[in-house]
A and B are shown apart, each in its own frame.
Chain A
Amino acid sequence: MRVEITVNGQAHSREIEPRLLLVHFLRDTLSLTGTHVGCDTSSCGACTVLLDGEAVKSCTVLAAQADGLAVTTVEGLAGEDGLSPVQEGFRQCHGLQCGFCTPGMVMAATALLAENPDPTEQEIRGGLKGNMCRCTGYQMIVESVQWAAANGGAK
């Protein structure tokens, strides 16, 4: 089947297998390997992307379901003038170690701040509950999101 999906502002039209997952469409078809696969039960959130602005786990979305929609991946966050506030927050506050969960975590945090620009610590933890990190123990991720909230938010 043919799908038309806009990814990071660029329109793509591709012939795909109907069962193809969105995450594999991004990684294998478009070679956007920033979005990662960490599990097979929608538990870890490493594959989180924005679908029409809403955070989704792209391992649980068929590429066919994204037909006609706009996807933002971690590759689409930074502009020519540098990292997005969320990305910069993670850098400033050491919100990443191995970096594998990071793209999903950054996308989830971006969606969280778009919805709630000034979250409490507990709201940040709640907003990231669908994303696992095995390295940081989360506190420095929480601090990273707080930094981002104070320095530009979700943009």
Chain B
Amino acid sequence: MIGSAVPRKEDAALLTGRGTFVDDIHRPGLLHMVYVHSTEAHALITGVDAEEARSLPGVVGVWTARDFAGLPPRPSVPGLERGYLAAGKVHYVGEPVAVVVAADRYAAADAARAVRVAYEPLPVMATVADALARDSVPIFAPLPGNLALEQQVTPDDVTADLEAAPHRLRARLVNQRCAGAPMEPYGVLADWTGAGPTVWATVQAPHRVRAEIAERFGLARHLVRVVAPDVGGAFGVKSSFMPELFLAPELSRRLGRPVKYVETRGEHMVHTYHGRDQLQDVEVGFDDEGRILALDVTLTVNIGGVPDPVGIGLATLTSYMLGGCYKIPKIAARYRSVVTNTTPTASYRGAGRPEASFLIERVVDLVARELGRDPADVRKANLIQPGEMPYQTPFEGIVYDEADYPAALDLLLDRLGYAGLREEQARRLADPRAPLLGVGLSTFVEMGGFGPTPLFEQFGYLGGWESANVRMQPDGSVIVLVGTAPHGQGHQTALAQIAADQLGVPFDAISVLYGDTAVVQEGTGTMGSRGMPVAGNAVRMAAVEVADKARRVAAHMLEADADDLVRIGDGFQVKGVPDATVTLAEVAERAFKPHLLPEGTALGLENTSYFEPKNLSYPSGAHGCVVEIDRDTGRVSILRYVCVDDCGTVINPMTARGQIHGGVAQGIAQALFEKVAFDAGGRPLTASLEDYMVPGALDLPPYETHHIETRSSFNPLGAKGLGEAGATAAPQAVVNAVVDALAHLGVRDVEMPCTPERVWKVMHDAS
């Protein structure tokens, strides 16, 4: 089954309106919780008047920070503990100041609007420049200033190497702030019955959420049940520990009734954490061929008003991936994480790695431009060769697995018809009526398959492994329980394909369950492209054990040696004896009959396995983009987008294609359309889908996808992960194409998003 493009098991329910998303769940006596959000970017709270709100029909209560003073802080950066509601001070527009609970969502929204919060404004520092200025004031109280973290990632000083290089150049690149904007907003339903709560929530790691809830309420974990039902997209933004994950159970406990919170889209845009927002200062030294000799990078990350434990250190991952697919002997990297009066930032699809890929791919293009060489040639001069794999990067522990980067680039150039495109470009340049043509390349590598445990512990997880329980039912059908919690990736389908191959059970006879801590043994979750490289291997391990035992039981039934059995159709046969057969269903039933099994055989056909990856895996590839730019309006149109991806073993080519498409779409969106913006006073300018441009069907092109399948030796399946590759590869493929189209004007950079207004301005400033 591995390698088959089977339609998904998930789809029947989702297509008929029978999916179960958090907001679809109803409990008797259900109450609705809404927030009162800060309308100020930086201010003291001088009073909260909830009298009118409390008097409105259906309102159960209004609570502020002091009402939750007894609850230990949310998962936080040690020493920078954060609570649930703003206490005495607000740090950004959208920060929750109070919660209202009412009998229905309309009454709750009315009441929230009736709560009057009095503010005494403080100076607003909405940018890192303002937050680091000499006259700035500290935003987040435990910090003496706004520099939350300064990290020297490598001890290397490359000053001498840069000075010795035949050529050097500097650049300042901006990787703007983006919103994850999954179509389903964040939601929580908590019902504290008996000794502890059941919490249905739009989360990516239910077991971790269970652990954090249990710890805050002083409960043993068995008393807390967390369920991630159908989750409508997440893209990393549903991995943050939002206050509602804890407030809803606490209010359910106090009120003795179930409490539901579902954010509106407007709330999502200011309240749920954003991603990216990195300023990149680069200096690069290189030789006449364009070979990069040394790279010096300073990253400045805007982490928003309240430091998030993931957001504060994400630039570590950016630093690790700065070398991209290239042999760069010396890299010096440091970063600063800066508090500002904006919504906090944390994970968003790729979480730190797209920023690195963007940086190095833009730098390679700048080097090519500086030397007057073709960007494809400069890439070839720098690429790590297949014979050099596994490749030890300049960063300890960061070792790339097997891949053929030059083959990916060659395939891309071939599919693009690269030489022909360059001719067409020249022809159009000569014709003032023809739109400009640009070609952009992106040879990329990123991290997938997160763990291993020593790495993932640093992000607060119990481990970096994943667990699977494979259990054959007495009729030969199979239930797989897995610790991931997908939200669109299709694990029911892909993991069943993996199990089917090991067990010899039909795909249709396997069900995969996940997302419920009361059902699944233990789990880490779905993030960091870890589904197939980690969970896939856990399922495989458990299935191998179950298949082995089934063979031993079959051998006993056939009075043969297990080694003499061969698999046939739906069962086993003794080699060379066509009559000596037994079906898997007969074997499965026999496994539950103690008196008919060899003495000492444990009952049942079941195994629980934990797969701990040896290392991260490194999905890679080469993407190319062809754009056309209207000379009058600056509008960028994508004519072609071509992907060559190497995610190792492809489990399901159809869902793999879907993952690439979706990631590329988000990458194109970052390049051309999306930017979370604030004005100088910290007021959000993109607080709705009217203002924040999530692209529609007319805004995005068709994608051409190709695969190179180089198995990773880091795990038995040979899979590398795929969920984040497209989002990592695409932004710079597009931007490189846009800059390429304008290069004849002397344009070196166009900041993302490359909107018509921005491109038009760059063209006019240049000419």
Cβ of A59 to closest chain B Cβ, rounded Å: 10
Q: A17-B106, A44-B183, A137-B662 are in contact. Are A74 and B17 (CB under 8 A)?
A: yes
A-B contact pairs, 23 of them (CB 8 A): A34-B16, A35-B17, A36-B21, A38-B265, A40-B266, A44-B694, A78-B15, A87-B15, A87-B16, A90-B11, A90-B15, A94-B7, A94-B654, A98-B232, A100-B182, A100-B183, A103-B17, A126-B697, A132-B689, A134-B694, A135-B183, A139-B703, A140-B658
Q: Within A36-92, which residues are at the interface with B (CB < 8 Å)?
A: 36-41, 43-44, 46, 73-75, 77-78, 83, 87, 90-92
Q: Which residues in A have their C-beta under 8 angstroms from that of B698?
A: 125-126, 129
B17 in contact with A136 (CB, 8 Å): no
Q: Which of B12, B182, B658 contacts A94 (CB 8 A)?
A: B658
Within 8 A of B (CB), among A105-155: 106, 121, 124-126, 128-142
- In the complex, how many residues of chain A place their beta carbon closer than 8 angstroms to a beta carbon of chain B? 59
Say whether A140 contacts B15, CB under 8 Å: no
With both chains docked as a complex, state the minimum distance between the C-beta of A18 and any C-beta of chain B, in angstroms: 11
Which B residues lie within 8 Å of A74 (CB)?
A: 15-17
Question: What are the residues of chain B within 8 A of A20 when measuring CB–CB?
Answer: 106
Contacts of A36 in B (CB 8 A): 21, 23, 183-184, 232
User: Is B489 on the interface with A (CB-CB < 8 A)?
Assistant: yes
Distance in angstroms from A30 CB to nearest chain B CB is 12
A35 CA / B11 CA spacing, docked (Å): 16
Kindly state whether residue A6 has any CB partner on chain B within 8 Å: no
B81 within 8 A of A: no
Closest 6 CB pairs of A and B: A34-B17, A100-B232, A137-B665, A99-B14, A98-B488, A97-B488
Closest beta carbon of chain A to B491's beta carbon, Å: 11
B residues 224-245 touching A (CB-CB < 8 Å): 230-233, 235
Tell me whether A96 and B184 are in contact in the complex, defined as CB-CB below 8 angstroms, given that A132-B694, A134-B694 are known contacts: no
- Chain A residues with Cβ below 8 Å from B23 are 27, 33, 36-37
Residue B387 is within 8 A (CB to CB) of chain A in the complex: no
Q: Which residue of B lies closest to A8 (CB)?
A: B17
| A44-B694, A100-B19 known, 12 other contacts, Cβ within 8 Å | A27-B23, A33-B21, A38-B265, A43-B689, A75-B16, A91-B15, A96-B11, A96-B14, A102-B14, A132-B689, A132-B694, A139-B661
Q: Does B94 contact A (CB under 8 A)?
A: no
Is A3 interfacial (CB 8 A cutoff)? no
Whether B11 and A78, one on each chain, are in contact in the complex, defined by CB atoms closer than 8 angstroms, is no
Q: Which of B15, B182, B185 has the most CB of A within 10 A?
A: B15
| Residues in chain A near residue B105, CB distance under 8 A | 24
Q: Which residues of B contact A28 (CB under 8 A)?
A: 104
Considering the chains assembled together, what is the distance between the CA atoms of A98 and B655 in angstroms? 12
Return chain B residues, CB-CB under 8 Å to A101: 183, 232
Residues of B within 8 A of A78 (CB): 15-16
Check A138–B697 contact: CB distance below 8 A.
yes
Dominant secondary structure at the B interface: loop
Contact with A along B86-121 (1 / 0, CB 8 A): 000000000000000000111000000000000000
Smallest beta-carbon distance B665→chain A, Å: 3
Query: B683 an interface residue at 8 Å Cβ cutoff?
Result: no
Chain B residues contacting A91 (CB-CB under 8 Å) are: 7-8, 11-12, 15
- Count of residues in B whose CB is under 8 Å from the partner chain: 55
Chain B neighbourhood of A96, CB < 8 A:
11, 14-15
- Mark B residues whose CB is within 8 Å of A: 7-8, 10-19, 21, 23-24, 26, 104-106, 181-185, 230-233, 235, 264-266, 487-490, 654-655, 657-658, 661-662, 664-666, 688-690, 694, 696-698, 700, 702-703
Q: Contact between B17 and A40 (Cβ–Cβ < 8 Å)?
A: no
Identify B17's interface contact among A39, A75, A140, CB under 8 A: A75
The residue in chain A whose Cβ has the minimal distance to the Cβ of B661 is: A137
Asked, given contacts A46-B183, A74-B17, whether A129 binds B696 with beta carbons under 8 Å apart, the answer is yes
- Contact B8–A32 (Cβ < 8 Å): no
Contacts of A73 in B (CB 8 A): 17
- Residues in A neighbouring B232, C-beta threshold 8 A: 36, 38, 98-101
Q: Is the CB of A99 within 8 A of B19?
A: yes
Instruction: Verify if A10 is at the interface (C-beta below 8 Å from B).
Output: no
Given known A-B contacts A124-B697, A134-B182, A34 and B657 have beta carbons under 8 A apart? no
CA distance A19 to B15 in the complex (A): 29
Give Cα distance in the complex from A141 to B105, angstroms: 33
Q: Which residues of B contact A41 (CB under 8 A)?
A: 265-266, 688-690
Specify which of A19, A83, A136 is in contact with B665 (CB 8 Å cutoff): A136
Q: Is the CB of A94 within 8 A of B655?
A: yes
Residues of B within 8 A of A124 (CB): 697
Q: A34-B17, A135-B488 are in contact. Are A98 and B24 (CB under 8 A)?
A: no
Cα distance A85–B183 in the bound complex, in angstroms = 24
Q: How far is the CA of A136 from the CA of B230 in the complex (A)?
A: 17
Chain B proximity of A144: nearest CB distance (Å): 10
Question: Closest residue of chain B to A133, judged by CB?
Answer: B183
